[in-house]
Each structure stands twice: as structure tokens, then as C-alpha cells.
Structure 1
Amino acid sequence: MSVTTHEIRASQTAAPVLVQAVEPAPGLLVYVYPEELRKPGETYLWRLGHHSGLQIAKFGQQADAETAARDIAPLTDWTRSAEDLRADDDLANAVAQHIRHETPGVLTLNPQPITA
């Protein structure tokens, strides 16, 4: 996997934040959360994010984040826009279920309530 510079969205700052990221699956990126944005004592330093810059989940280990990216990759075309993906409630539920029950990660996206 190659490393590329990626812009993430951070609510704590108005300026774009750049990170070095790998792309384990098209449209999905894994990167270390920037130190200047971390909360004190943060232990989940690795992020799984969408190419739009939005986070999906956080992990303690890079390998776990990359595995989760490969696992959720078949659920949709992740190269689509964030707005398009957010409109798909079934996708949000499937991703939430996988992250919560099949990985050591913590969900950071805000899906619709799980109905199953």
C-alpha cells in the first residue's frame, strides 16, 4: 500500500488538517489521528476514514483499522460521496454492526439507530 497525503475534517479547527494515509480499499483510508486534535489520554490513535475526510471508526492498532477497512469494503462503493453514503440507512447499520461486533474499534460515525 502506498502512503498519500490526505485532508481530514476536524471540528476542533477551521483549518484543514493533513495526514499521511494508506488506502486498504478504494475510498477507505487509515491514518494516525493528528496529535494536535487528540484528547488527553487518547489511546485509539488510528482512524478508519472515508476519502471525504470523515471518520468511520477509531482503533488502537493500524492492522485492526486496515482489516476493518477490507472487511467493510464489499458493502458499497466507498468512492461515492459522503452525502450519497449517508443517505443509505442500511449501509450505516451494516457498518455500525460490523465495527461494534466484529472489531476492537470504536464507531465514530453517527448512523441511524440499529433496528435489528
Structure 2
Amino acid sequence: MNASTYEVKARQSATPVLALAIEPVPGLHVYEQPEELRGPGDDSTHPWRLGHHSGFAMAAFASQDDAVNAARQVAEFADWTRPADELRADPDFDLTGYYDRLMEQTRGLLIAR
């Protein structure tokens, strides 16, 4: 997989930051949390992110491989290329199933929005 540059966002920063990311599933990006967005705690043990193309992180992982696996695990839950607001408003989006899959099939930490 080739890496491209994407904008990522974090709650602690209103300004988007550029990060090198791969797209293992259309609409989902995997990248290492940029140094300027890292905080104490989980960012040091789980620096890899699974994020939506809108720029928001969805889950944190200890390795890139774990984040890529997570993207593949949740690929079927939505058309991730859709805007984040559309996904949130879609009554057919199985948010509980998505959370359960991440918790049962991956070693990630959910990032709540």
C-alpha cells in the first residue's frame, strides 16, 4: 500500500495537521499520530490511528498492522467514503456492531467523538 498525505484532526487541536497515511479500506486511513497531537497516556502506547477520511480518528492501536487489521474488520459496516455526518445520521449504520467488532476482533482503543 502506498502512503499519501492526509489531514487529520484531534480533539485537542482545532487546526488540522498533515500526516502520512495509507488507505487499506476506501474511506478509512491508517496513520501514526503526529507528534504535535500526542498527549500523555495512550498516545505513547497506542500511537497508530484508524481514522475516517474526514480527518477524525476512530480508534488507537499499538502498531500499524493492528490498525490495518481493524480497518479490514469494520470494512463491511458502512460505505466509509461517505461524509461523517451522513454516517452519523444513517439509521441503518450499526454503531453497536461496529464497536463490538472493534472490541472483540482487534486490540484497539476506541476514540469517542
The verdict on a shared fold, with TM-score over 0.5 as the criterion, is yes
Write the letter of the residue equivalent to 1:83.
Answer: D
* Distance (Å, rounded) in 1 between the aligned partners of 2:59 and 2:90: 18
List aligned pairs for 1:73-84, cutoff 5 A: 73-84=75-86
List aligned pairs for 1:21-36, cutoff 5 A: 21-36=21-36
* Distance (Å, rounded) in 2 between the aligned partners of 1:37 and 1:95: 25
Report the Cα offset of residue 107 of structure 1: 0.7
Report the Cα offset of residue 15 of structure 1: 2.2
Higher percent of residues as strand: 2
**Which residue among 103, 107, 111 is the counterpart of 2:106?**
103
- TM-score normalised to the size of structure 1? 0.87
List aligned pairs for 1:83-94, cutoff 5 A: 83-88=85-90, 90-94=93-97
Q: Percent identity?
A: 49
Q: Indicate yes or no: 2:70 matched with 1:68.
A: yes
Structure 2 spans left out of the alignment, 5+ residues: none
* Distance (Å, rounded) in 2 between the aligned partners of 1:95 and 1:34: 25
SS at match of 1:14: strand
- TM-score normalised to the size of structure 2? 0.89
Equivalent pairs counted in the alignment come to 110
SS at match of 1:6: strand
- Aligned twin of 1:114: none
- Aligned twin of 1:43: 45
Write the letter of the residue equivalent to 2:61.
Answer: F
How well do the aligned residues superpose, as a CA RMSD in angstroms? 1.4
Report the Cα offset of residue 62 of structure 1: 0.5
Write the letter of the residue equivalent to 2:19.
Answer: V
Structure 1 spans left out of the alignment, 5+ residues: 111-116
* Distance (Å, rounded) in 1 between the aligned partners of 2:82 and 2:106: 24
